[in-house]
Structure 1
């Protein structure tokens, strides 16, 4: 581990040298999905980015414990600590058990992550599997005087905490500004302050997901789960805490407050966040009608892009933009990424057949140094990819007889491409990616089956026609649905 790595820390708002608390061990916690709907592209961008970080830290020789949670309770639909649990609400509408919803979308999320070739985390805990830990953490915060109980609910006292700590340290906002910009919400009559948030919420009789506690039957607040699980698996302090930039103002700010109140320590040394997604320069949003799901990218069944794109093209597209920059989807950008990805992989496929010479026109060591320098500069994947395109140019020149390479540099080139193209960026050739085609099609066919069960025949027909247009015929029978290549 001779490489000096610098990462951008949201907390300090600058790049800092990465110095683990207990090298060579590294603890990394990334906020996982709330499993009440299909995985969206924001999820994919975040987890591909942290997959890149996980892969590179491993390359440097660190032993990384990567924890990514599953939120399967406590995420309410309202702006305040009230309203229905999103998973329970979906379960009521479908007339199934909440954990059936959890299972369905957890499996779907993992399928998408596998298709996009992200490595599984070291530990993937669930909120419902750690209710005891959340209750114990709430008791500790109460004992230290930073929370209060009202009618069976427990709230964190933000203003009391801010007297000795900077509540807005992560988002760079002063408490007065936050208070002035916080509207009055329902349920505020129970809270002492407008910014106070729930650690434990008293359950109404009709609430489906609830557990006994010292304060009565209820359920944990959304922010509590990550603090409880990161404490359990990574300790009171660990190295990296990550997630999407949308988590900074509230969720991660409240995580810090909970941890400091209970343990006296900020949980993470480095706070890292991925930026938002846009479509043709406009923020991606369901309300604007410009959002689409990963499977709609793979199948081409969306109203925004002209054609389908392979999972590896999508991964490559996302890695061409630095994780802290806005990622903009457009037809031109996706088509350019598809061409670029094919150019890189075609060059990679030529490597085994290259012939060596006694002399060499190229020096691979300098390019290798540039690749490490790019990744050591806050995991700068776009610059790394530019260096790999230079490798592609060299490979094509040697293949065409326009340049010479000796055996030593050829071996170095093979190692460089394997290390950074495959091991770090996590890319596979289209031939290898096609091995996932049955899984992708099965995933899309399952979505069609769900649409048919819900009597959403318009969506069902749209998927069938769309697959037919790109060369796949579906056949329905009593045993299920099968597909054939046309």
Structure 2
């Protein structure tokens, strides 16, 4: 059947049929990490969510340009306009250049996402590499009368913007409510309104990261980078802007305001898509709350909240077993259940590979069984098309897997299904599991431990003078490029040279 994807658009607050602006081309921008520390489980949820969207769009035949930024400047403490740059703060603590911090944690971010089988974006721009584009955008907003300069800093004028636009259209916030609930804080005296946000900040004498601009030596505001870089690589209006729900306000709200106030005069993206948070006992997981678990800790099991270590594919399945717009609560029990679910799907791939040699066209087809199998295959796509509901897709895959296992165990006759039906269920299952959900087979055990086990059998065969087994074990390991060494001190192995 022809697949039609529907996505929930935060901007309109409803599910909409996905229709690209310039099909078959799709432009997608996703807010990436601020690289001042190791990635944690919350970062993984956003990365996996939009990886699956990227994969599914390509599966549907679209040509996708996926842009995911790296924030390496301008993100101040507490996501505010005052305080120290998060990266600069880490650089001072570790006695490093800020860009050493950036490179170090960017490398770790890439490596951890690679383990999770997250595909790299097509373009990964850095904020510090696009200062010129950000300055140009500020100049446009100033020219349009929606920003002002004070003492070398430039601020976006939210009340002035709101006279002709709607600040709060994405998040549903009301500007009067925001004003009544926002107190002026120390260091904010330059602003005309407490809602105004920085487009450019003049650097204090001790501030390391600084660039020349028409207003001062300084650095761009955090919100500005995404507006400038998405416009550069995807145009003034593109298809999808994604990110975590915690970025909806103020970050994404400010992006829309900047885009409308500049010469673009657009909402930047047609569809705004947000993944929900990972929680711990109902509280959002995050660095600011101190309840986060780094991915490296999950993989090693080295964290007080962990009962054991969990593999990258277990983590990926854990994320996928919930709809991306629902909260996902962390627990060891949930991760252990995810491991079982992931293993079950992997076993299904092995069963299908074995069944593929058993299909015969000479049998007597059972029309009802064939129709049932084809319907189960169609059901697997309904979840994906219904706002990327991977939880529903996984449930449908398990339903299909029950029939696959029944065929394998002989409870259903293989001769009763046609080659066409089998090819459909096989392609549905394998493509969704591997290509769309992005799950992959992981080694089932430690190679060295397995070798030690084999050497134990080898030693036992030698001691019992079962030389045929000794020769067989030697020969089989040699095929794998491994040689057994009989030493005076015992038995060892080495790679064949």
| TM-score class normalised by the smaller sequence | 0.7 to 0.9
Q: Name the CA distance, whole Å, in 1 between partners of 2:47 and 2:350.
A: 27
Change (3 A) 1:136 1:288: closer
Contact 1:38 1:105 in 2 (8 A): yes
Q: Find 1:368's aligned residue among 371, 377, 380.
A: 377
Bigger shift: residues 81-90 or 376-385: 81-90
Q: Which residue does the alignment assign to 1:412? A: 424
Note the C-alpha offset of 1:121. Answer: 0.4
Contact 2:302 2:309 in 1 (8 A): yes
Q: Which residue does the alignment assign to 1:450? A: none
Q: Name the CA distance, whole Å, in 1 between partners of 2:196 and 2:281.
A: 38
Q: Name the CA distance, whole Å, in 1 between partners of 2:158 and 2:57.
A: 36
SS of the aligned residue for 1:431 comes to coil
Q: Find 2:433's aligned residue among 417, 421, 428.
A: 421
Q: Name the CA distance, whole Å, in 2 between partners of 1:426 and 1:196.
A: 42
Q: Which residue does the alignment assign to 1:321? A: 322
Bigger shift: residues 352-361 or 315-324: 352-361
Q: Which residue does the alignment assign to 2:267? A: 266
Q: Name the CA distance, whole Å, in 2 between partners of 1:351 and 1:80.
A: 53
Q: Residues 3-402 of structure 1: matches in 2 within 5 Å?
A: 3-78=3-78, 80-262=80-262, 263-286=264-287, 290-354=291-355, 355-357=358-360, 358=363, 359-360=365-366, 361-362=369-370, 363-402=372-411
Note the C-alpha offset of 1:431. Answer: 3.2
Bigger shift: residues 301-310 or 169-178: 301-310
**Poorly superposed stretches of 4+, deviation over 4 Å:** 285-289, 432-435
Q: Name the CA distance, whole Å, in 2 between partners of 1:70 and 1:114.
A: 16
Contact 1:182 1:194 in 2 (8 A): yes
SS of the aligned residue for 1:113 comes to helix
Note the C-alpha offset of 1:89. Answer: 1.3
Q: Name the CA distance, whole Å, in 2 between partners of 1:165 and 1:29.
A: 23
Note the C-alpha offset of 1:227. Answer: 0.3
Contact 2:134 2:228 in 1 (8 A): yes
Change (3 A) 1:390 1:145: same
Note the C-alpha offset of 1:288. Answer: 5.8
Change (3 A) 1:9 1:293: same
Q: Name the CA distance, whole Å, in 1 between partners of 2:289 and 2:259.
A: 37
Q: Name the CA distance, whole Å, in 2 between partners of 1:245 and 1:304.
A: 25
Contact 1:80 1:186 in 2 (8 A): no
Bigger shift: residues 198-207 or 412-421: 412-421
| TM-score, normalised with respect to structure 1 | 0.87
Contact 2:28 2:238 in 1 (8 A): yes
**Consecutive unaligned residues in structure 2, runs of 5 or more:** 448-493
Q: Which residue does the alignment assign to 1:461? A: none
Contact 1:6 1:376 in 2 (8 A): yes
Note the C-alpha offset of 1:194. Answer: 0.8
Contact 1:77 1:86 in 2 (8 A): yes
Q: Deviations over 1:68-101 (max 9, x none)?
A: 0000000111554122111111111211111100
Bigger shift: residues 318-327 or 362-371: 362-371
Q: Deviations over 1:193-245 (max 9, x none)?
A: 11000000000111100000001101000000000000100001001001000
CA RMSD in angstroms, aligned pairs only: 1.9
Contact 1:290 1:304 in 2 (8 A): no
Note the C-alpha offset of 1:404. Answer: 2.2
Bigger-Rg structure (1/2): 2
Contact 1:348 1:392 in 2 (8 A): no
Q: Deviations over 1:452-485 (max 9, x none)?
A: xxxxxxxxxxxxxxxxxxxxxxxxxxxxxxxx9x
| TM-score, normalised with respect to structure 2 | 0.85
**Consecutive unaligned residues in structure 1, runs of 5 or more:** 436-483
Q: Name the CA distance, whole Å, in 2 between partners of 1:58 and 1:161.
A: 38
Contact 2:42 2:285 in 1 (8 A): no
Change (3 A) 1:310 1:191: same
SS of the aligned residue for 1:269 comes to strand
Q: Name the CA distance, whole Å, in 1 between partners of 2:2 and 2:421.
A: 22
Q: Name the CA distance, whole Å, in 2 between partners of 1:77 and 1:386.
A: 41
Bigger shift: residues 367-376 or 9-18: 367-376
Change (3 A) 1:211 1:282: closer
Contact 1:30 1:67 in 2 (8 A): yes
SS of the aligned residue for 2:77 comes to coil
Q: Name the CA distance, whole Å, in 2 between partners of 1:171 and 1:419.
A: 36
Change (3 A) 1:41 1:433: farther
Q: Name the CA distance, whole Å, in 2 between partners of 1:69 and 1:353.
A: 43
Q: Name the CA distance, whole Å, in 2 between partners of 1:94 and 1:343.
A: 44
Q: Name the CA distance, whole Å, in 2 between partners of 1:386 and 1:79.
A: 38
Q: Name the CA distance, whole Å, in 2 between partners of 1:309 and 1:227.
A: 37
SS of the aligned residue for 1:270 comes to strand
